[in-house]
Amino acid sequence: MQRLALERLLRKAGLKPTEKRIAIAGLLFDGPTTKHVTADDVMETARRARVRVSQATVYNTLNQFCAAGLLKRIVIDNSSTFFDTNTDDHHHIYNEDDHHLVDLPMMAIDTDKLPPLGDGETIRSVDIVVRVGNK
């Protein structure tokens, strides 16, 4: 993505396009494929691209991108969180041995038979992570 497109993306999401945000957005949204990254992945990609950012800046920026709707946070457990560039509704398959996360289409799991909700309640989202391992 070109710099001007990244600036527009950030502004549209209500974020000021600072140099660090533009740099991190460039690492995340470059290319046509969906990315599932951890904060450590972003730090490593930034290091390889010679983008100087602190760990705190990466975490803060990822959290800001989530709050702005640019990323979706996928919490695997207390010590493992992924950030997904695909913000459409979908589920995931997580390989606990390889620590690899892939998309699973919504239609792959029937969620129509959830228990009835209480009065005044509505479903906001259904986030399912199917955990697998190697044989």
**For the chain, domain boundaries:** 1-87, 88-135
> What is the predicted pLDDT for the residue at 90?
93
Q: Which fold has domain 1-87?
A: Arc Repressor Mutant, subunit A (1.10.10)
| Per-residue pLDDT of the chain in tens (135 residues, 90 and over written 9) | 799 999 999 999 999 999 999 999 999 998 778 899 999 999 999 999 999 999 999 999 999 999 999 999 999 998 899 999 999 999 999 999 999 999 998 888 888 888 889 999 998 888 899 999 999
> What's the per-residue H, E or C state across the chain?
CCHHHHHHHHHHCCCCCCHHHHHHHHHHHCCCCCCEECHHHHHHHHHHCCCCCCHHHHHHHHHHHHHCCCCEEEEEECCEEEEECCCCCCEEEEECCCCEEEEECHHHCCCCCCCCCCCCCCCCCCCCEEEECCC
